[in-house]
Structure 1
């Protein structure tokens, strides 16, 4: 389940930063700007509050905030890459028991001291941090001075004494690693695209596969992201923005934008990859330029405008305000908000880099002794005779049903081989992510896809039981897992016990408006859910998660469609039409019959594939 959403603001800041004060911006001016630009609209009672601090707290959006002149200068520095004095880390601006570190800069005091991404900063120089304190005010300081930082790491409290110094922010670095052109990018700023072009030009002749490492990249400027992606794609639309009224804008690379390489891209992702990183990965997916490998990304799918002196007369003396004004979507219409980007190959953090390098081999002169992998429209070659046994094992386990693995023989003969058999011949372990009782199901492919991506799991007996009916609680857990929803508010339904195995998923689905309870305040977790109820829920999911689903939700039924879906209840006819249009509807099911685990899995998987939440 997802934790609090974050934003890119560096902790490598100057001494002058203080905790966020009351703004110089007039309150009524701030209210006007928020009412005009905020993507979800604001309730009148919020706009009637007596201070900007109260309003921002009530909105509860960590991406909408006021910046003093010093903070705005520091923000631009962190995104665009400069030299500053500090410890060299980026962290959350949202408090969640502390401030989570998102990334550590290379050659920085934080790196040398042993701080790690994921550490939660809880105390600085003896001062306990709270939601009201700005950690930058305590961590910043003069060069050569020391700061003591306490963090929580997997529940253990650790302290680090760090000497502040000037830190360069090299937002893009690159190196040749065998046949891989390895590009690491920690932010998308003004220098990013140029350095990407430089890297491709410098390494292109020696490169068979590009590895773009975005594991420590929490985002940046959308235009910089589009340009960097464009060098692997060429000209085209790179992302869509939708405002609160449903109108779209888009960012694109101009006709004739240079496509500098045709070699496949492997994007490395982690739970710290957010915003621009997710957009870059979505571009690679939408244009068939490569795959992603690693962990599911963070899930920031909103875009902010920055109002400052150059574009807003209310702002003076270098102050600024950042407001969430849009939801954004990849060129294929998929959101990454909350759901993140699910990588093509779901690999643990410890094996991500080595697994990518295993795929970064040049095409061998002879097939014998090598493997060929066809995945998501790309072809990769592997040498199974590797010392990286753990990475090879996990890579084979992570292959979805759509992947095709071949074993080489003689000069250019390739024969299909099952991943389990390949593991056996390579002498590495193999633990299947699929379950043994799905082979006879007509929806075995869909079930196996979802279990490979660890969206679904079986019972304690190790089986999936495809034919079993699915309850409302079970389906809520399936869908919430697919969307990576954070647990919702407890106590919404009288018959959903807090702490039950399904409580978080039920409340999450209810919070999103995907599922509702009965009129008496109950949910009925053990009740079966009918096919048409599943269809209705997934249609709402489609409208939220994709541009196509959003447009379908507002379309009336034609006369022909009314006849075709007449077996469905009135409230389920448009949802059924929507899922059919998205190629997610399972045909031949009686709408009022109870859903089964296999049919629920089939529709969920097909919807994720058609809306590009699964990379295929």
Structure 2
């Protein structure tokens, strides 16, 4: 028994000794690794300092150390990804104005796609939208200044200006043989982020143009107002460039009662976050169609992709923009900052939005619906309707009905027929309503 005890103690002692030896070796290896990384870091910094010194001394143009550092920081940040950049004193000031103050602008959201400054989406009703700017337009020049190697913030700074002043954009548009020059007059950008309309008696159309802080409240009010008669909803996110993450999560939560909505994952675990649905926030379970296109980005992609993963909605339209990264502005001095990508968004299925976007369940290109009519196939009902319309014109009733049809709260068949994506979405929704017996 004594020998067994000694054997056990001996085994424990050997185990402890091996563990200590392993720990010592592990610590030594870790320390060695740290020393190697630190040496490499110092070597790289020394190389950078040497290059700065050589350029400052021998460059043909006289360049100050401050200018060289700014250029180095700009180059470094812009080469990380399309959305990271260095904000100079002027850029940082403009960013604060954009966030906190009122300014004149065009009403477009831009991004970099394949190295080119690209319109993500014009905001509905703004000067850019009225001038004919479209999602996917590539901006070649701004007031004859080339956008080649221009950062997003630099482009935004140039396009922003005094209300009432003109600006000229040269764009390349798919399907056009040559670049187009579009003149726009800057205006105050005011956005109606949510509006709702009726399609027939039982379908509700909800348009979200951007994700500001009022989206969830406004959509909730719109749905509850018509809830007793609503059998299906069309959620239109086309040309919606995104906005606040909490509003995107909240919007999905109105339709989904459980499960993950979106997750955020970065290099540091502190930046990781999972956003989940709660049944107490869900307000409707009627069939849902979501309309998207190439101008649907960021928060719009989170909403459409999450609803698609939950099998809660059928997504109709075109592939979305593909902006699924998270940026933060980090001050480096009181007057300068960097905008850095710290994480990426992932949908409930685990797929990423970044550079891929959300692929619609049913792909539909924009355009008008072609209606074929046989001029000789006149039915009695058609003839009767035609005669009633003629009588209404005489009696002065037609104008009253037309005014009602053109109300901002109603979408007519004529409007639907001018929008192929909406038409397909409505037809699918009607089929779902019939299938569910609503």
Q: Same fold (TM over 0.5)?
A: yes
Using the TM superposition, give the Cα deviation of residue 174 of structure 1 relative to its aligned residue in structure 2, in angstroms. Answer: 2.3
Give the 3 Å change call, closer, same or farther, for CA 281–302 of structure 1 in structure 2: same
Tell me if 1:345 matches 2:372. no
Is the Cα–Cα contact under 8 Å of residues 124 and 209 in structure 2 kept in the other structure?
A: no
Corresponding residue to 1:330 among 338, 347, 361: 347
Tell me if 1:166 matches 2:166. no
Give the 3 Å change call, closer, same or farther, for CA 58–145 of structure 1 in structure 2: closer
Give the 3 Å change call, closer, same or farther, for CA 202–48 of structure 1 in structure 2: farther
Per the alignment, residue 428 of structure 2 pairs with 359
Distance 2:198 2:147 in 1: 42
Distance 1:127 1:335 in 2: 35
Is the Cα–Cα contact under 8 Å of residues 181 and 204 in structure 1 kept in the other structure?
A: no
Per the alignment, residue 66 of structure 1 pairs with 86
Query: What runs of 5+ residues in structure 2 fail to find an aligned partner?
Result: 1-40, 49-68, 368-419
Taking the TM superposition and a 5 Å limit, the aligned residue runs for 1:6-405 are 49=48, 51-59=72-80, 61-67=81-87, 68-73=91-96, 76=99, 84-93=103-112, 96-97=115-116, 99-132=117-150, 134-154=154-174, 155-178=177-200, 179-234=202-257, 236-244=259-267, 249-253=272-276, 255=278, 257-307=280-330, 314-316=332-334, 320-350=337-367, 351-361=420-430, 372=431, 379-381=432-434
SS at match of 1:187: coil
Using the TM superposition, give the Cα deviation of residue 276 of structure 1 relative to its aligned residue in structure 2, in angstroms. Answer: 1.6
Give the 3 Å change call, closer, same or farther, for CA 293–256 of structure 1 in structure 2: closer
Distance 1:44 1:210 in 2: 61
Per the alignment, residue 410 of structure 2 pairs with none
Distance 1:87 1:380 in 2: 41
Taking the TM superposition and a 5 Å limit, the aligned residue runs for 1:428-443 are none
1:440-476 deviations in Å (ceiling 9; x for gaps): xxxxxxxxxxxxxxxxxxxxxxxxxxxxxxxxxxxxx
Using the TM superposition, give the Cα deviation of residue 256 of structure 1 relative to its aligned residue in structure 2, in angstroms. Answer: 5.2
Using the TM superposition, give the Cα deviation of residue 88 of structure 1 relative to its aligned residue in structure 2, in angstroms. Answer: 1.7
SS at match of 1:70: helix
SS at match of 1:56: helix
Is the Cα–Cα contact under 8 Å of residues 208 and 360 in structure 1 kept in the other structure?
A: no
Using the TM superposition, give the Cα deviation of residue 259 of structure 1 relative to its aligned residue in structure 2, in angstroms. Answer: 0.7
CA RMSD of aligned residues (A): 3.2
Runs in 1 of length 4+ with deviation above 4 angstroms? 42-50, 245-248, 253-256
SS at match of 2:264: strand
Q: TM-score, normalised by structure 2?
A: 0.64
Is the Cα–Cα contact under 8 Å of residues 87 and 165 in structure 1 kept in the other structure?
A: yes
Give the 3 Å change call, closer, same or farther, for CA 255–261 of structure 1 in structure 2: closer
Using the TM superposition, give the Cα deviation of residue 136 of structure 1 relative to its aligned residue in structure 2, in angstroms. Answer: 2.5
Is the Cα–Cα contact under 8 Å of residues 316 and 362 in structure 2 kept in the other structure?
A: yes
Is the Cα–Cα contact under 8 Å of residues 299 and 341 in structure 1 kept in the other structure?
A: yes
1:535-570 deviations in Å (ceiling 9; x for gaps): xxxxxxxxxxxxxxxxxxxxxxxxxxxxxxxxxxxx
Using the TM superposition, give the Cα deviation of residue 245 of structure 1 relative to its aligned residue in structure 2, in angstroms. Answer: 6.1
SS at match of 1:193: helix
Is the Cα–Cα contact under 8 Å of residues 307 and 315 in structure 1 kept in the other structure?
A: no
Give the 3 Å change call, closer, same or farther, for CA 345–145 of structure 1 in structure 2: same
Is the Cα–Cα contact under 8 Å of residues 103 and 163 in structure 2 kept in the other structure?
A: no
Q: TM-score, normalised by structure 1?
A: 0.46
